[in-house]
């Protein structure tokens, strides 16, 4: 009898494996024409693919009844005014894993595309082809696109988790996202697309956001759009007079996959949902958290 009871207790508290996707907030694009798109937030995942094309991350082995920290990074705020550089996205975390916020898109004459999970796009310039922001640290996303010098001069697209931002000379679209099946949704959703460049103000168009979730660049008649919320995507660069404000970066997200026998609890300040069991797993999607915690029973 004692052995049977001991086995039940051991099973109840046995460590279990948690797969994760941790996506940081995307950067915003630079304001006004000739600006770069915002870079996507870093994306780190244990299932299917991870940002930057590197090896998959390693799943965590966790224990019942222990609290684990979680933070969802916000997207960079839109840049408002004439020729204002974008804003960096904020980091997202789960337990000991951190994904880095996306880099800001540069504004004309500022030449300051931000590094981040994915880099922001560079601005265009009369004489110098500036370089897009770097993906730093590596292994979370891709670099932003370079600006184009001369006439016309054009900004570059923000980097995505999957591909680099497109250079100004080649259209300035945002870099593509990654997709993963960790959520159990079919088809697998995309995460962390780059923002498109702002309108050139001359010949040529603005850039489109990566994988349909990055923000589009503004034009002479339409405002830039934001990166999609809870995908960590970059915002588009600004447009012409009346539409100079850039697109904000999209907020990040954390998705957790764990054995169906476990049930998650969300601590104060954490907004999340738990799916029904499917294929031997449950999934938790956390869309907002500031220094929050989760635990399992």
Confidence label for 7 from pLDDT (cuts 50, 70 and 90): very low
Per-residue pLDDT at 65 exceeds 90: yes
Its pTM stands at 0.95
**% of the chain at pLDDT higher than 90:** 92
**147-202 residue pLDDT tens:** 999 888 999 999 999 999 999 999 999 999 999 999 999 999 999 999 999 999 86
Q: Which two three-digit tokens encode residue 225?
A: 């759009």
Angle at the Cα of 252 from the Cα atoms of 114 and 63, rounded to 5 degrees: 125
Cα–Cα dist 130/134, whole Å: 12
Q: Which two three-digit tokens encode residue 229?
A: 């919320």
Confidence label for 203 from pLDDT (cuts 50, 70 and 90): low
Confidence label for 78 from pLDDT (cuts 50, 70 and 90): very high
What integer pLDDT is reported at residue 144 of this predicted model?
Answer: 98
Residue identified by tokens 């050139």 is 200
Name residue 18's beta-bridge partners.
60
CB distance 182 to 209 below 8 Å: no
What integer pLDDT is reported at residue 12 of this predicted model?
Answer: 57
Q: Which residues contact 191 (CB under 8 A, 6 or more apart)?
A: 21, 23, 43, 161, 177, 178, 179, 180, 213, 231, 232, 233, 253
Per-residue pLDDT at 120 exceeds 80: yes
What integer pLDDT is reported at residue 4 of this predicted model?
Answer: 40
264-266 sheet: strands from edge to edge: 97-99, 92-94, 68-71, 292-296, 264-266
CB distance 257 to 182 below 8 Å: yes
CB distance 268 to 30 below 8 Å: no
Query: Can you tell me the mean pLDDT for 47-64?
Result: 97
The CA–CA distances, whole Å, from 246 to 36, 209, 228 equal: 10, 13, 14
Please, what sign has the CA dihedral across residues 180, 183, 186, 190?
negative
CA 257 to chain CA mean position, Å: 19
CA 19 to chain CA mean position, Å: 18
Q: Helices (H) and strands (E) in the chain — how many of each?
A: 1, 13
Query: Can you tell me the mean pLDDT for 263-276?
Result: 97
CB atoms near residue 98 (< 10 Å): 19
- On the CB side of 88, CA atoms within 13 Å amount to 19
Query: Can you tell me the mean pLDDT for 4-9?
Result: 40
**221-268 residue pLDDT tens:** 999 999 999 999 999 999 999 999 999 999 999 999 999 999 999 999
Name residue 97's beta-bridge partners.
94
């Amino acid at each position: 009898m004692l052995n049977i009871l001991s086995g039940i207790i051991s099973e109840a508290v046995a460590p279990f494996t948690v797969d994760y996707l941790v996506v940081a907030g995307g950067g915003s694009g630079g304001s006004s024409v000739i600006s770069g798109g915002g870079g996507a937030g870093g994306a780190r995942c244990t299932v299917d693919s991870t940002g930057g094309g590197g090896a998959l991350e390693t799943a965590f082995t966790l224990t019942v009844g222990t609290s684990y920290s979680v933070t969802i990074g916000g997207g960079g705020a839109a840049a408002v005014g004439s020729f204002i550089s974008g804003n960096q996205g904020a980091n997202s975390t789960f337990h000991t894993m951190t994904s880095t916020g996306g880099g800001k898109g540069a504004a004309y004459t500022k030449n300051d595309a931000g590094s981040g999970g994915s880099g922001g796009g560079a601005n265009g310039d009369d004489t110098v082809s500036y370089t897009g922001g770097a993906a730093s640290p590596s292994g979370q996303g891709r670099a932003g696109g370079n600006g184009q010098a001369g006439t016309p001069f054009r900004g570059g697209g923000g980097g995505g988790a999957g591909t680099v931002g497109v250079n100004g000379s080649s259209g300035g679209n945002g870099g593509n996202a990654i997709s993963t099946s960790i959520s159990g949704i079919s088809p697998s959703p995309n995460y962390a697309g780059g923002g498109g460049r702002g309108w050139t103000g001359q010949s040529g168009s603005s850039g489109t956001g990566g994988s349909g979730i990055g923000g589009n660049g503004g034009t002479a008649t339409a405002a830039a759009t934001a990166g999609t919320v809870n995908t960590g995507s970059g915002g588009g660069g600004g447009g012409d007079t009346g539409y100079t404000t850039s697109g904000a970066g999209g907020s990040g997200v954390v998705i957790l996959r764990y054995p169906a026998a476990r049930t998650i609890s969300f601590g104060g300040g954490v907004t999340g949902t738990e799916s029904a069991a499917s294929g031997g797993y449950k999934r938790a999607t956390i869309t907002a958290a500031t220094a929050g915690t989760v635990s399992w029973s």
